[in-house]
Structure formats: structure tokens, C-alpha cells
Structure 1
Amino acid sequence: MKNHISSWRNFCKDWNALTFYQRFESGVAFSLTFLVMLVVSVALFRLFVGVIGGLVFDALNPLDHEIFQQVFGEIMTLLIALEFNHTLQYVVTREQSVIQTKVVLLIAMLALARKFIVLDLGKTSAEVLLALAVATLVLGVTYWLVRERDDRLLEIQRSNSELENR
């Protein structure tokens, strides 16, 4: 929390130095952050009321497979929204000028994991399962390639830094 406050203070301090487009970009990211925060709050409240109400009034059997899938699907949706919101914070506070590709890939993989959790295998065709498997594989390979590239760039920077220090 302390880190977010200092980032926000630095952002406010640097506001005058930003270009028009940087201000626009930060404003859009801030608006999206606020909207996602509202959506997460409402979804969390509805999830809380639904689960607690269902358990208290014995209308919700957590051992029922469909109920289990539904509740954990809603929890995964909230986690995806929180991760997305966390990513937007970097843009708002100008710690990163654009949303990083690796983060977008990870959020997409979380969304696929959520899809697999709520998937009803009895009602899902083989084609859909194949498509989801291919999408998962492609996202995983893409993430690996991006990470490898970033790791190589970091290694080059370290090597150059060590050479400069000699």
C-alpha cells in the first residue's frame, strides 16, 4: 500500500511534465481502473451474498459439482479482473507506458483456466475441447518465447553493465 501511495504522489508531481497524450493515456487507464474496481466490488458482493445465503439457507450444496464449478468460476473471474486492474495501475502511475505483453498473456491463460474449470465435459464437443487445447498451447508457447526474449535482453544488459564497470 505504501508503494502505491508513493507511486501516486510521484504521478501527481510529474503531471505537468506529461505530454497531452500521456495525460490522456493515464486518464483512460484511471477510468478503466475505477470501472473495474466497481465491477469487482459488485461481483464480490454478489458472490458473497450468493454463497453465504446459499449455505445458510441450505440451498447451496458445495459438494455438488455444478455448484462447485459455478462458485470457483466466479472466483476466477474476480481474480482475472483484479490482475487486470493491477496491470492498469502501472499505466496510471506511469511506471510502465504500455501494458506488458507477458501480463496480457498471463491474464489470457487465467481466463482459459477459468474456462476449463467451468467447462461441462458432458455438453462440450470435441472440437471445442481441441480449440481450447490449441489456444492454451499457443498462449503457453507465446509466453515462453516472450519470456525467453526478455531473459536474453536482461542478460545482455547485465553483460554490458559488467563491461562498463570494469
Structure 2
Amino acid sequence: MLIKEEFRDARLYQRFEHIIIIILTAMIAVIVVVAVWNLSLKILFGLILSGNLDPSDYAIFQAVFGMIFTVIIALEFKKSLLVIAERRENVVQIRSVVMIALLAICRKVIILDIKETDALQIFALAAAILAPGIVYRLTRDSDQRLVNTS
């Protein structure tokens, strides 16, 4: 985060951007807390206490892990906002965005009903995972080269 001296010296747009990032980060933190609370209640009361928690039931597995991945995506998004606020290198920002995309696609794969999905859609999802995976790998390698040359 910008310290007070840097904030005073920052241009108007940088101040505006920093304030917006702080507001968005706070909003996402509230959303994550509420999502974890709701997830806990659904698992505890909706599944465990009612006796419906059957790990072999794929629909329950999809629902629970879909909700968990949603929270993880929100946390990664909050983390990427904090990276922007701290003004780190652009490579880190790109990796964060690609990581969010990968998590979102993986969530889609987890909640996907295989019985009702045609092969072309599964192939498209595989390509959608492969493309950001390659980008993530390339940016990671690029970041490691920057660290090694420093």
C-alpha cells in the first residue's frame, strides 16, 4: 500500500485508483467472509446434520467444491488487487489474472455434468484450460529469468 508520504506526492489519478482498489478489496473481503459463512452453514446444517453428506454422491461433490472454488477465486481476485495497490511488476499482475482464469475454468470443470455435456464442449474446456496454462507457464519462466539476472 502507498504510505502517507507517497500518497501525498501521488498524482490525482493515482490517488483515485488507490482509493478504488482499497474499496474493492474491502468489498471482496466482506463477500468472502459471507460466502465462507454461508458455505459453512450449508455444509454443517444442510448436509452433515441432515444426514445428506454422501461423499460418493457426485452432485453433492460438485456443489460443495463449486462453492469452495468460488471462495478461492474471490481470494485470488482480492490478492491481485493488492498486488496492483503495491505496484509490483507487471508480470506478477499478468500471472494473477491468468491464475484467476484457470481457477474459474477448473471450477466450471468440477461443476460440469458430464452426462449432459457433449464432447465438443469438453474439448473446448480443455483448450480453455490449456491456453491460460501455457501463458501462466511462460510468465512464470519469464519472471524466474528476471529474478536470476538480478
What is the CA deviation profile of residues 1-23 of structure 1, one whole-angstrom value per residue up to 9, with x for unaligned ones?
xxxxxxx5x52342101111111
1:139 equivalent in structure 2: 132
1:47 is displaced (CA, Å) by 0.7
Q: TM-score, normalised on structure 2? A: 0.87
TM-score scaled by length of structure 1: 0.79
CA-atom RMSD in angstroms? 2.0
Q: How many positions carry a matched residue from both structures?
A: 148
Deviates more, 1:53-62 or 1:39-48: 53-62
- Residue 116 of structure 2: SS of its match in structure 1? coil
Q: 2:64 aligns with which of 46, 62, 71?
A: 71
Unaligned runs of 5+ in 2: none
For 2:42 and 2:128, the matched residues in 1 are separated by: 32
Identify if the C-alpha distance between structure 1 residues 18 and 67 changes in structure 2 by more than 3 Å, giving closer, same or farther: same
Corresponding residue of 2:115: 122
**Computing the radius of gyration over CA atoms, which structure comes out larger, 1 or 2?**
1
- Where does residue 12 of structure 2 map in the other structure? 20
Secondary structure, aligned partner of 2:30:
helix
Q: Distance in 2 between matches of 1:19 and 1:105?
A: 29
Give the counterpart of 2:34 among 16, 30, 42. 42
Amino acid at match of 1:49: L
Give the fraction of aligned pairs with identical amino acids, expressed as a percent.
36
Map Cα deviations across residues 61-104 of structure 1 (whole Å, 9 max, x no partner). 34321101110110111011111112212233x34376710111
Q: Detail structure 1 runs of 4+ shifted over 6 Å in the superposition.
A: none
User: Which residue matches 1:163?
Assistant: none
8 Å Cα contact 2:84-2:93 kept in structure 1: no
